[in-house]
Structure 1
């Protein structure tokens, strides 16, 4: 049985509150991961993490959702991604993704993003995906360029971290640009 949610390295799946809570606790120990996600905040209580985690597994629909990224080789949650800023009228969406520092450069992010884009473009009829990232996060910029995203602009001095202001880079990809490089999937007959 084939699943649109499974790649060679990762499976996208729902998560349970205790998994999300544990992952958030791990991520919050890494200031770089938190800054790249746009929110370096003071340490939180376990109760606060549980409340946040329960919101991640709450009501979702086919276009607005959060998914866990599970490593197929380890069978463990290594990150999450979720759609944001979904505009059904314009056919545009965005997403956020976070991979734990111990799992960077393993191909998990690129495969998870590709699975998400294939679903949103090939199954939900969205025509464009917008993402943004801080200019200092060159690894994320290179990843998105490799996936086919194009830089569309910058918001100068958008965020303040580590004693300095940082630009926010805006990137986008249309369904046509995606389809030039990646498969939108296929319908297999039984």
Structure 2
């Protein structure tokens, strides 16, 4: 049996109540949190447990959702990936990804992104994926370029964090670009 949600290193899955501890620990690295979105005050363990349980009980939408990135072997949560700003009329969507600091540089992000794009392009019929990356987040900029995303634009000084202004860099990948790069491995699956 082959699952569309399992890659070489990770599996994408719904959140479970017991995932709270891993995600609560990821919040301890302020720089990593800033790279993903924005720094917020610390949350209690009780709140993290409650939030994780509520998210685990939510029914996921087919197009706009958040999934846990877990190790393929061991099912250890290493991060999350989500889709947002889904536009069915134009066939576009944005996604975001966050990997906990202890799990950086292990190939988890690239594997998760390819799994997500394969689903959105070949199961949900979208034609373009986009991602905004802060200009101070060099590892994510390099990751998106390495995966074949095209830098399409830049919003100058549109984000303030850690005492400085950052640009937001827009990356995009079309289904044709994805298929050219990953099609032989992912688009054509055995029956």
TM range (shorter): over 0.9
Q: CA contact under 8 A between 1:11 and 1:70: conserved in structure 2?
A: yes
What does residue 56 of structure 1 align with?
A: 55
1:166 Cα deviation (Å)? 0.9
SS in 1 for 2:177: helix
Gaps of 5+ in 1: none
SS in 1 for 2:172: strand
SS in 2 for 1:53: helix
Q: CA contact under 8 A between 1:12 and 1:70: conserved in structure 2?
A: yes
What does residue 66 of structure 2 align with?
A: 66
1:55 Cα deviation (Å)? 4.6
Q: Distance in 1 between matches of 2:115 and 2:38?
A: 26
Q: Name the stretch that deviates more: 107-116 or 88-97.
A: 88-97
Q: CA contact under 8 A between 2:38 and 2:161: conserved in structure 1?
A: no
1:51 Cα deviation (Å)? 3.8
Q: Does 1:38 align with 2:37?
A: yes
Gaps of 5+ in 2: none
1:168 Cα deviation (Å)? 0.7
1:23 Cα deviation (Å)? 2.5
How many aligned residue pairs are there?
188
Q: How does 1:129-148 map to 2 (within 5 A)?
A: 129-148=129-148
Q: Does 1:24 align with 2:23?
A: yes
TM-score (norm 1): 0.93
1:70 Cα deviation (Å)? 1.0
SS in 2 for 1:11: strand
Q: How does 1:127-166 map to 2 (within 5 A)?
A: 127-166=127-166
What does residue 2 of structure 2 align with?
A: 2
SS in 1 for 2:130: strand
Q: Distance in 2 between matches of 1:52 and 1:84?
A: 19
Q: How does 1:103-118 map to 2 (within 5 A)?
A: 103-118=103-118
Q: Name the stretch that deviates more: 57-66 or 85-94.
A: 57-66
1:94 Cα deviation (Å)? 1.0
Report the aligned-residue RMSD: 1.4
1:187 Cα deviation (Å)? 4.6
SS in 2 for 1:182: helix
1:72 Cα deviation (Å)? 1.9
Q: CA contact under 8 A between 1:56 and 1:66: conserved in structure 2?
A: no
SS in 1 for 2:77: strand
Q: Distance in 1 between matches of 2:149 and 2:39?
A: 26
